[in-house]
Amino acid sequence: MNIIKSDCYQIVRSKMFWIILVFTTLCGVGITLISRGLAAGTLGTEFIGTASGLMDNMVISIVGPILIATYLCNDFTNKTIHSAILYGHGRRSILWAKVIPYSLMVFALLLPYAISTFIGFLSGNSFSLDFANAIDSSYMMILAKQGAFARDFNTIGKLILVLFVLAIIYLSRLSLIFLLSYVIRKPIAVIGIGVLLENGLSILAAVVSKSEAVNSCLSWTPFTAMRDNITLSASVPELLKIAATSILFLVIVVNITTAFFNKSEIK
């Protein structure tokens, strides 16, 4: 518990965390307003290419590894991990204690997109379907197709579930950065490999989504085509299955990280 409190305090005190959070907030609000502007005709289609760089899949795949690698690798740089071991904390308990602050960071980065989508849905405004089809973002697809759904208690409840599942998927995807941080321990190397890995697997999931065989394999990982699968059109059992699969993937990756960390030498 002390490790969790200490890490949460460090994250809140970190300038990098707040800078990145402000950045994702601007991206989340900006992409929603652009989708609204395209639907209303106040913005031209030339904005689609420019705004695609603000989509959650792209932004989180870049800023997520930066923040997570810095947070985890600093423990080796400033010897915090050494002190925790010397004070009698087991390596497994130390690593699992890191999962909670790590999860809170990821949820915080996604919160602007989730809030923008929630408010956009409740507003009843129109959002661009062409824009949603052009980028890989479940958030924008939810808004673009919201007209087909009533704004009643059940739909709002399902929207909250969809937004939560999206957060779980991203949390699970970024767990690979968790593993890399404990294997490589060098923030710049982890960030570089992590960004390439995250973007590469995300692109792969989008490209092969039309292949039934490959898509079936990827369905057992968090690297699924979110834009088409994680929407209000998905059934609750489907959403729960995806969430459970993502959580299982996260647990497996953390256990692999734990096994490696238990056998590695701390210099």
SS3 for 80-92, per residue? HHHHHHHCCCCHH
Region 130-158: mean pLDDT is 86
Residue scoring higher pLDDT (51 or 104):
104
Q: How far apart are alpha carbons 11 and 3 in whole angstroms?
A: 12
CB-CB contact of 129 with 145 (8 Å): yes
- 35 vs 46 pLDDT, higher one: 35
Give the pLDDT confidence score for residue 219 in this predicted structure. 65
So what's the pLDDT on residue 109?
A: 93
Q: What is the pLDDT of residue 134?
A: 84
Kindly report the pTM of this predicted structure. Answer: 0.89
Residue 41 φ/ψ region, left for φ over 0, alpha for ψ in the -120 to 50 degree band, beta for the rest: left
CB 186 within 8 A of CB 73: yes
pLDDT at 208: 61
Which pair of structure tokens corresponds to residue 118? 């929630």
What is the pLDDT, as a whole number, of residue 157? Answer: 92
CB-based contact 51:34 (threshold 8 Å): yes
50, pLDDT greater than 70: yes
Q: What pLDDT, on the 0 to 100 scale, is given for residue 96?
A: 86
Largest CA distance in the chain: 62
DSSP 8-state secondary structure symbol assigned to residue 136:
-
- pLDDT at residue 2 greater than cutoff 80: no
Chain-centre distance of CA 221, in angstroms? 14
Distance from chain centroid for Cα 133: 20
Q: Is pLDDT at 81 greater than 80 in this prediction? A: no
CA–CA gap between residue 49 and residue 135 (Å, rounded): 9
pLDDT of residue 256: 92
Range name among 78-92, 102-116, 239-253 with the lowest pLDDT average: 78-92
The rounded distance, in Å, linking the Cα atoms of 85 and 90 is 6
Residue 218 has what pLDDT? Answer: 64
Q: Is the pLDDT of residue 64 over 70?
A: yes
The H or E element containing residue 223 is none
Q: Hey, what's the torsion of the CAs at 220, 113, 195, 227, to 10 degrees?
A: 40
What gap in Å lies between CA 82 and CA 78, rounded to an integer?
Answer: 9
